[in-house]
Structure 1
Amino acid sequence: METKPTIPTAKAPSHYFTGDVYVDPICRGEDPSRMIVSSVHFAPSARTNWHSHAHGQTLHVTDGIGLVVSRDGTVIRMRPGDTVYTPPGEEHWHGAPEDKFMCHLAMLGGTNDGDGTTWLEPVTNEQYRAAHQQ
């Protein structure tokens, strides 16, 4: 048993996120585990690009209000305590509404060569606004 060192908060890269997003890494699994866990903080209107995960992703909201949207138009509004699972390969985005911060734990299984995330194009302002209409 050991205590792992704290990793400093990092600003999420702007080529994968719109707006101000900050990541606190919690766990980066080592063989045989490939579990990756981060606490991700979204400022109002901040969001991910469209993306998918090789082994799926579980999001657990710890603070604020959030949205998860899939390519088929399904919109899930998340509140503290809510957990949402996106299956392997499902293209989706997640983020905060225009007037609230949101923080979630992002949990996923990594791959041999990274975190297994396939990053796609940014969510347009029109797609973002449409998700709030549902």
Structure 2
Amino acid sequence: MKKSVLVAPLLFSAFSCVTVMATENIPANSQIFKEAKSLPKIPANPKVFTGKAEVIQMSQQVPGMPVHNGIVIFERGARTFWHIHPAGQFFTVLRGEGRTGVYGEKARVVNPGDVVICPAGVKHFHGAGPDTQMVQMTVTGDHPEGKGVTRLEEVTDEQYNNIEK
């Protein structure tokens, strides 16, 4: 069975929110910057998240960069449903303590600076710990058919609380 890989600790000394616009809006030899306060927080869909979470989309696909990224703010105990990324994903924990797991295995605790690499096709979840908010930055591969994620069933409390020691 495929597993996600946890690389720890990889610490980021600075983090800025940069939004990339559609290619035609980026002047040649330039960058576009957006202040963090201008990026809207969108409530996570309760049909694919347990508990309260917010999503900040940071970028759209840009030719030559087949990924998109965002920030997810999970409140205590909040988590994604089981899901699969057809082109893979990695995320970095920016704040708080979280949990992540691969289907059929025990979940892992993740902390600020930890990086979780989840190859294409691996059924997994991620979210906050039971007693703390967790903020993560995700980078998700864009699948050629345009589907970055396949959402599946809810992660049970038993699966969420089955922690690797």
TM-score by length of 1: 0.90
> Aligned Cα RMSD in Å?
1.6
User: For residue 122 of structure 2, what is the aligned residue in structure 1?
Assistant: 90
User: For residue 17 of structure 2, what is the aligned residue in structure 1?
Assistant: none
Contact 2:86 2:120 in 1 (8 A): yes
User: For residue 85 of structure 2, what is the aligned residue in structure 1?
Assistant: 53
For 1:8, give the aligned amino acid.
P
The Cα of 1:115 is off from its aligned counterpart by: 4.3
For 1:75, give the aligned amino acid.
A
Between Structure 1 and Structure 2, whose CA radius of gyration is higher?
2
Q: Which has the higher strand share?
A: 1
**Structure 2 gaps, min length 5:** 1-29
Kindly indicate whether residue 32 of structure 2 is the aligned counterpart of residue 3 of structure 1. Answer: yes
Q: 1:116 aligns with which of 134, 148, 160?
A: 148
Structure 1 stretch displaced more, 78-87 or 109-118: 109-118
User: For residue 135 of structure 2, what is the aligned residue in structure 1?
Assistant: 103
* Aligned pairs, number: 133
For 1:120, give the aligned amino acid.
L
TM-score by length of 2: 0.74
Percent sequence identity over aligned pairs: 32
Q: 2:95 aligns with which of 57, 63, 70?
A: 63
**Structure 1 gaps, min length 5:** none
Tell me, what secondary structure is at the counterpart of 2:162? helix
User: For residue 80 of structure 1, what is the aligned residue in structure 2?
Assistant: 112
Q: Distance in 2 between matches of 1:64 and 1:115?
A: 29
Tell me, what secondary structure is at the counterpart of 1:28? coil
Tell me, what secondary structure is at the counterpart of 1:59? strand
